[in-house]
Structure 1
Amino acid sequence: MFFVDTLEIAGLGNRSYLAGGGRTAVAVDPPRDVEQVLAAAARRGVRISHVVETHLHNDYVTGGLELARITGAAYLVPAGAAVEFARTPVRDGDRAEIDAAAGLALRALATPGHTPHHTSYVLEENGKDVAVFTGGSLLIGTVGRPDLVEPRLTAELARAQHASAHRLAAELPDETAVLPTHGFGSFCAAGGTTGESTTIGAEKASNEALTREVGAFVADLLAGLDDIPAYYAHMGPANAAGPAPVDLTPPAVADAQEIADRLAAGEWVVDLRHRVAFAEGHVSGAFNFEGEGQLATYLAWLIPWGKPVTLLAESADQLADAQRELARVGIDRPTAAATGDPANWVRDDEALASFPRATFADLAERAKDGAVVLDVRRDGERANGFVEGSVHLPLHMLHRRIHDVPAGQVWVHCAGGMRAAIAASLLDAAGRDVVAVDDSFDAAERAGLTVRPA
């Protein structure tokens, strides 16, 4: 009998897996903070004998090298991935015994497309294919995006994604469980995913990579690609070099004067509290990236790489969770931090700053007076409808283009409120008069504010 435990990396929209029998197990695409993988193995009472990577990751720093070092496991990495550390190179057709007593083995299948060297791993139980770890190849309802390696390879890799999906569908039984790494909010997915689980048979019936001919599939895939998070450029090199062990010890404590000094020096001070609390009172000049949102993705996307960052949190637990999230994308050591009452984060002669929040119904009333409306959603979202007369600057561009926002009070919105809060904090720090629209975009249509592109 075998087991597969799914480890959710929700902030990055990814999953990792631990699979095995009664004695030993394999870890697939582990996150950099390997403690949860070790804890899962301890709960199962198994030894991790193998750690495998489906590809050289572009969206997070892997914990594979460190996990293999700690456990003494064999570290399996696709042979085509150019890395600077010792590993067991994996080629198409290679097999690894995972738990002999349980009849478990892994078989490598070359599935290029997400990267040229991408490899999926079929879990066999007594010679029967029972699951396949597809990484960034076949996802739930879509595939991994093919444009993260080299622009000149994108079209070729898109065709390879189609071929790899068809190889998986042709070689594996319909009942085989498909267990992808990406596709749960990750920007590594080429399109939206549907559902939490799937099989080869289900994907054959619904996934466009398997229901459409290659030309039409590739054309639509390439047309639908969105912007690439800026920090992705740093993940591949970090993984190729071999990531260092992560240090999650608490950062130095900053008092009000140090926070002020760091802001004056142009460093980033990031407030992790919920957007409602931030709007009600915050350190002037601080930016709001909610610790419970997609912190790692959006902070790593926006911050100039290597810029010192100080974290402000409502509790030590919130701070620790944020450190863990950020370490997963290579933001290893906050320069300093403070927790507790925001009133203690400002000097005695200073007051906390604030800005108002509103709904789309409020905006419908204000729009009659010619308010500046700023839409910070991505291009693909805006293509489905937008507030008439709004200015469009996707969030990841805003910090470099605040000067392009028209003069006047700015009502900023996204699809649900979190990104609008980030944008409002950027505008507030730049001295702009801002209102954060904290509302679902569905309400904009109900308020009669939206139009669709011609």
Structure 2
Amino acid sequence: MSAVTDVTVEVVQTSSLGDRSYLAHDGRVAVVIDPQRDIDRILALAGSLGVRITHVAETHLHNDYVSGGLALAQLTGATYLVAADDEVGFERRPVADGDKITVSTQMRLRVVATPGHTFHHLSYILDGADGPVGVFTGGSLLFGTTGRTDLLGQQHAHTLAERQHASAHRLADLLPDGAQVWPTHGFGSFCSATQSDAPESTIGRERIANPALRLETDDFVRETLAGLDAYPAYYAHMGARNAAGADLIDLSPVAAVDPADLATRIADGEWVVDLRNRKAFAHRHLAGTLSFGLDGPMSTWLGWMAPWGAPITLLGDSEQQVADAQRELARIGIDRPAAAAPGSPEQWADGDDTRLTQLTTATFADLAAARAGTPAHGLPAADVLLDVRMTNEWRTGHIDSAIHIPLPDLPHRLADVPAGTVWVHCGSGYRAAAATSLLQRAGRQVVHIDDAYADAAGVGLPIVPGN
């Protein structure tokens, strides 16, 4: 929470997608910036504060989630602020550079055109009674970085990077050092060019820390474009959905599935997803299911890898776990999973132990021993080492003789994995769990390296530069 004498800004985190929404209020009325699809969180916050939402503002048409802005504005009767230059299929108040929006006698917004993340991107300077408090920057100026510039196509990335640089400087020129910076992206979102762990920032801090304000235009553009990696495939569907306008979210429970139906779905090759943490999955799971634990960025990786529109069945250890996953998926436009089954592996198998299986796990120390010809008791030979990290991670260094298939590519590149027992690793273990479950479903013998990649060199595994 950020506060001054007359205006308070509340942060609504969506850590699973690496985004933030904001509710700014003066104790009576509020403006909401870049709300996520599940607007019940915003409504509950406004209710607890005793404030009325009179304005909802979008910094841009989002590529990484379905916006709840239209539904929130319609439900509350709020004025919906969207860039005038964006072509949309709904009623809104079109705003453009230089517009001033009076929210209350204590709170005003100044609209600033900040193209770069998108062509029509806007930022909103929040003014209180004593002047500027801060700026809602969306995907423009982030903490120590900026929003990526390639989401509208590689052909625009260079031009937008130049504009991103100019936009960052414009904001810095308009605002004092003490003004708060409130970005939407940058906390793990693939909309961010790089990542930052900073919990908050100001214009003054960004002048020192942000490459967009430290580098000349050509250097910034070169550095930005060189750092870009792949982004989730489901992004292709978000912009169009947001331009059309998303309706009110439906989080009512989906159809329950019984063990016989589960068996059919698995036999048909459907995406039957186990939401439990990866250690529980490794200990025992229903054969043919896939590990996307809700304790990690489940929606990002599942939404990226599953064919768009394919039926998804959710298995969780409780109704709440299934409901939480359903909410996560609805945020990226997977509105209604095909079915769900809260319970345990034994229940999903209907007591038939032959339908249950395990996943062999190991550490990097175990891998080093296996490569030295002295594998730990019970562990198979390491015939193949598969690195499923992203390309930029691979290029910074990888274990010698590993093969590289980024996790999002694995579903359609299973045939590229060489024969033999496959040991799989990522950066921490989460993505490797998804990868090993995919390989296991395909009939491969696998070992899940559930360990931190940063420890690999320390156990004697040779790290070589990427290419």
Cα distance in 1, alignment partners of residues 462 and 74 from structure 2: 55
Structure 2 unmatched runs, 5+:
1-5, 374-381
Cα distance in 2, alignment partners of residues 230 and 363 from structure 1: 32
1:224 aligns with 2:227: yes
1:282 aligns with 2:285: yes
1:401 aligns with 2:406: no
Asked whether the equivalents of residues 385 and 450 of structure 1 are also in contact (C-alpha less than 8 Å), the reply is no
CA RMSD of aligned residues (A): 1.1
Q: Report which stretch shifted further, 91-100 or 428-437.
A: 91-100
Match of 2:201 among 194, 198, 201: 198
1:364-398 alpha-carbon deviations (Å, 9 max, x no partner): 01123453110000111112221111010000001
1:311-353 alpha-carbon deviations (Å, 9 max, x no partner): 0000111111101000000011111111112111124543301
Structure 1 unmatched runs, 5+:
none
**4+ runs of 1 displaced by more than 4 Å?**
none
- Equivalent residue, structure 2, for 1:374: 386
1:81 aligns with 2:93: no
Q: Report which stretch shifted further, 165-174 or 363-372.
A: 363-372
Match of 2:53 among 38, 48, 51: 48
- Equivalent residue, structure 2, for 1:335: 338
Cα distance in 2, alignment partners of residues 435 and 158 from structure 1: 42
Shift of 1:127: 5.5
Q: Which amino acid aligns with 2:169?
A: H
Cα distance in 1, alignment partners of residues 355 and 313 from structure 2: 19
- Equivalent residue, structure 2, for 1:62: 67
Asked whether the equivalents of residues 20 and 99 of structure 1 are also in contact (C-alpha less than 8 Å), the reply is no
1:293-312 alpha-carbon deviations (Å, 9 max, x no partner): 10111110000000001000
- Equivalent residue, structure 1, for 2:138: 135
Q: Which amino acid aligns with 1:193?
A: S
Q: Which amino acid aligns with 1:288?
A: S
1:365 aligns with 2:369: yes
Cα distance in 1, alignment partners of residues 295 and 241 from structure 2: 26
Alignment of 1:285-434 (within 5 A): 285-349=288-352, 350-369=354-373, 371-434=383-446
Shift of 1:450: 3.3
Shift of 1:282: 1.1
Match of 1:439 among 429, 434, 451: 451
Cα distance in 2, alignment partners of residues 194 and 34 from structure 1: 26
Cα distance in 2, alignment partners of residues 261 and 245 from structure 1: 32
Shift of 1:441: 0.7
SS at match of 2:356: coil
SS at match of 1:198: coil
Alignment of 1:168-179 (within 5 A): 168-179=171-182
Alignment of 1:113-262 (within 5 A): 113-126=116-129, 128-262=131-265
Cα distance in 1, alignment partners of residues 248 and 30 from structure 2: 22
SS at match of 2:80: strand
- Equivalent residue, structure 1, for 2:377: none
Alignment of 1:21-32 (within 5 A): 21-32=26-37
Q: Which amino acid aligns with 2:400?
A: E
Cα distance in 1, alignment partners of residues 129 and 314 from structure 2: 51
Q: Tell me the TM-score normalised to structure 2 length.
A: 0.95
Cα distance in 2, alignment partners of residues 424 and 400 from structure 1: 14
Q: Which amino acid aligns with 1:249?
A: S
Q: Which amino acid aligns with 1:121?
A: Y
Shift of 1:97: 1.1
1:36 aligns with 2:41: yes
SS at match of 2:372: helix
Report how many aligned residue pairs link the two structures. 452
Percent of aligned positions that are identical:
53
Cα 1:27/1:450, change in 2 over 3 Å:
farther
1:92-126 alpha-carbon deviations (Å, 9 max, x no partner): 011111122xx210110000000000000000012
